[in-house]
Amino acid sequence: MIFQQWDGGISGGQKGAICSVSKDGTVTQLPAEGELLCEGDNGFVTDANNLSFYDRSGQLLWSFDQYELTEDSEPVMYEDSIFIHVTGADGNTYRGCLSQQMGELAYEPFQGGGYVCGHTSLTARDGKAVFVDLLTGETISEPDIDIDLSGMYDEIPYYKDGLYVIRHYEGNDASPKYQYYFFNEQGQEVIPTLE
């Protein structure tokens, strides 16, 4: 396990050293810089030099500064990839995919935020909600319902474990009504059944 220590108590202080803990409980401080953002089987990511990838022993493998990471968004590690949320020179938000081996982009980042589950993102493209494969950047499906991803009417209360749950607003101001829809990671609607 990789974790970051907290120095200075509960009410104040700062993040401290990044450490690993072995199965026998031995804690080792790693020679890594920055704030720990996420970890995976191959290593971990910090915000040093915008984005830095370290192996599990704390050795820096690469840094990425081609785009600025979007504030308050954490990278997501998936197999040998890292999905990032970045801000372009135009101020818009983009999604991209980096190789864990080299820190290179798999494709030019596409505009949009979204909800990540596995290697899929439910995001907006050309004003429509679509499911995008984050490994390729390609649209894999478009839901039959018009989903408002702004959060003004619809809500995505759950997007983990291969399932997206969408609370879709179908009423009006005088009589608000909601319908729940379920989609798998491939962007296909799942109809729940009770037995």
pLDDT tens digits, one per residue of 137-157: 999 999 988 888 887 888 999
Q: How far does the chain reach from its first CA to its final CA, in angstroms?
A: 40
Per-residue model confidence as pLDDT tens digits over 94-124: 999 999 999 999 999 998 878 899 999 999 8
pLDDT tens by residue, 64-101: 999 999 988 889 999 999 999 999 889 988 999 999 99
pTM comes to 0.85
What are the DSSP calls for 87-154, one per residue?
A: E-TTS-EEEEEEETTT--BSS--EE---EEETTEEEEEETTEEEEEETTTTEEEE--SS---TTSSS-
Count CA within 13 A, CB hemisphere, residue 131.
23
Query: Sign of the C-alpha dihedral, residues 37, 163, 93, 152?
Result: negative
HSE-CB of 43 using CA atoms within 13 angstroms: 22
* Cα separation, 81 vs 139, whole angstroms: 18
Contacts of residues 47-52 at CB distance under 8 Å and 24 or more positions apart, as own/partner, are 51/75, 51/84, 51/98
User: Has residue 55 got a pLDDT over 90?
Assistant: yes
How many CB atoms neighbour CB 90 within 10 A? 7
